[in-house]
Structure 1
Amino acid sequence: MARSKRPAPAALADLPDDALLEAVQRQTFGFFWEGAHPVSGMARDRTTTTADPDNDLVALGATGFGAMALIVAADRGWVKREAAVERLVRILACLDRATCYHGFFPHFMNGDTGATIRFSRKDDGGDLVETAFLFQGLLCARQYFDRDTPAERQARDVITRLWRETEWSWHTRDGRKVLTWHWSPTNGFALDHEIRGWNECLIAYVLAASSPLYGVPADVYHRGYTNGRDFTNGRTYHGTTLPLGPDHGGPLFFSHYSFCGLDPRGLKDRYADYWQQNVAHTRVNYDYCVANPQGHEGYGPDCWGLTASDDPDGYVAHAPDNDNGTISPTAALSSLCYAPAESMRAMRHFLRRHGDRVWGRFGFVDAFCESRDWFADTYIGIDQGPIVVMIENHRTGLLWKLFMAIPEIKAGLVKLGFTSPHLEGTPAPIT
């Protein structure tokens, strides 16, 4: 990808809105282009402001977001379409040779060999949620790269085969009315992590219901995901009523990860209007930072956004009820569609106030904590990807249009009882 000379952060902050968004997206995309694994082209879990890691670890969820960023890059001409397809084919070649578990991929793998790299002692097999983030991106790529060329046909064929071979019903554990997150041949379902909401995992249930060969029945969603302890809320925070989720809404990635593909505009089911949900979640997070009840340095109307990220002590899911003074730029930037004025103010403020401490070779660093004069030297794939994708969804709706046009997804959403402008005319499933 050809790069022009990178402007100073202060100059960048003075650009018109559209030019600034283009610059932020394009710089961030570098994480998935120059910063990708040199053999497979898959997304690394993380890298730093100065160097790439000297290992072969790649992350499956980040690769899914990276596939969506690749679409944006091709569509905007940052890379040639042919180069984007070549990268996608390389990614798919690694996935095709990788160790899988009833079709599911692990959280981490070796980007050279496709071998599993365990996430923890018993998390050494298939990860349903990371695989869902992966397929959210791959299915968008199948929809976008639709030309009748050998490379694009090959990419579509491999994606379809991998998608059809993934046994979503396996994770219901012989018919339980809920999905379970992990399985491995050595530990089985020992982690016993049932996926109940409200959280980032809506996309996993949509994909599980949409699977053409191994789909789960609708009551797995209605009796599993929506029966979570923190699913229904209805309480008011800072003057905003929050339909779903834990107290104060939880980290902002709840409103990002599943909605990189799922278009929340007009998306409803018996539980919520998901545009209303995500706007309310963002507003609660923003208003909390403005109120700043703990008196953290820097917080205010121009500096907000709590989500999972690095912080001075490790990696934490930051939220209003778990706040140690760490602001994660991905939180505000990926919320552009839900709070455009507030997001743009934060973007400019980060650049003007902190300059090169927050802005570098792959865009905004992962997080900072002014109270402790700490600024991350890391970029994390699952934080960088939504910046590119959600900004694009605000600008053009590109990924939303692609994902919501996928025939299997439309059928799965109808099966679960969702309505959306994208689903008009979609026939009800045969029961």
Structure 2
Amino acid sequence: MLEKFKSLLKNEFDHFKDKKIFLAISGGKDSMTLSHLLLATNIKHTLLHCNFKLRENDSDEDESFILNYGKKNNLPVYTISFDTKAYANKNKVSIQEAARSLRYNWFNSFISESNCRLLTAHHLDDSIETFFINLLRGTSIEGLSGIPMYNDKIIRPLIHFSQEEIIDYVKANQIIFRQDESNFEDKYLRNDIRHNIIPLLETKGEKFKVKLAQTMESIKSSSLFIEEKALEFFKEHFIKTAENSFSIDKNTLSNQAQILLEYILKPFNIQRSQLKSFNQFLKSKTGSSFYSHDFHFLLNRDIVEIHKIIKDTPFEPREISQLPFQLKDKNQEITLTKLNSSEGIIYTNNPLYLNLNSLKLPLIIRTWEKGDRIQPLGMKGSKLISDILIDKKISLVDKKNIKILADQNTIVAVVGICISEKHKITSQINSVVEILLNN
């Protein structure tokens, strides 16, 4: 195993030489084997150990074991303790999910710098178990390719080594390790697959693990190929319209094969389970919306507009008691200025002009709300602002940022859109409010 590891280092991990290496170490045989291999190949590494406080005294003894091991081998050690059960209850997740979230959040704090890497001791059997877990839960092609060797700054050097190879190496080198008794409990799906399903399948076919590993590699190659095609499609057809905003022709997108569409939409966090709903969205009418966790998709005739969802705090209404007044909000800047004459004014949607004499300060500036109405310039009756925005073809994304000015309970202007007939200016007006919107 050592020679195979050395060969792997030479072919796959030559860049280790100039990196700061951290090892996620539990004290079990897998992570202890990886540490032993690193020491045998003169790779300095820092040990990171999590105490999840799940196994009473055994958890504390694991931590002591790692501290002593680090001291004996002159390896830096960092440990941390978690109240894993409390975290799981608070966040309504399983113990396994809680432990994973806690440890990787902590691990990431060590590898934030570009020259740092984290090693984990996942091996071939772990990858095979993950294949079956994903298969049982339902997954994409990518989910059937097992655990990747690389994941950004996380590297798994043992991913092509079997559990049998690790056990043989442990015996040959008399490696001392800690045994987690929970690994033998079949109440966990992974353990059930490990102890019951895989051994049964091994009796049905010769070299089952080897063949499955080859199949997973083939699936991985297929996944990478589709990923490359999706990237080519993205570069060719998606148009960047603003920061974190894109557009694409609806028909171009809808004509793609579903497997390619799945990969095309990955950057926008659309899950495979959402594809059916997304396809229905593509067939819907103008103005229809679709939401992923991070993006808003809007259908504008034959164009799909895509905007990243900015989770900002709601805009708080502001009082305007004197002029000039300036407001900066998100990517907007609204300025109210007093003019002493209406001479030379050109009437447009931006800037807007109001008769200051007809207003009663203070004014209120706020975002528009459902049911808001205004009497637009030149009209006898009032009109819903929502209808005005539809007439102006304001997108759903931009609608959220529209501000109105109110004089007591009356809306006097929709910023950047229109003013109220009641507050229009004439040639005799010598006191004017200019409302300028900059995006």
TM over 0.5: no
**For the pair shown, which has the larger CA radius of gyration, 1 or 2?**
2
Higher RCO, 1 or 2 (CA under 8 Å, sep at least 6)?
1
TM-score norm. by structure 1 comes to 0.24
User: Larger % of helix: which?
Assistant: 1
TM-score by length of 2: 0.23
Q: Which has the higher strand share?
A: 2
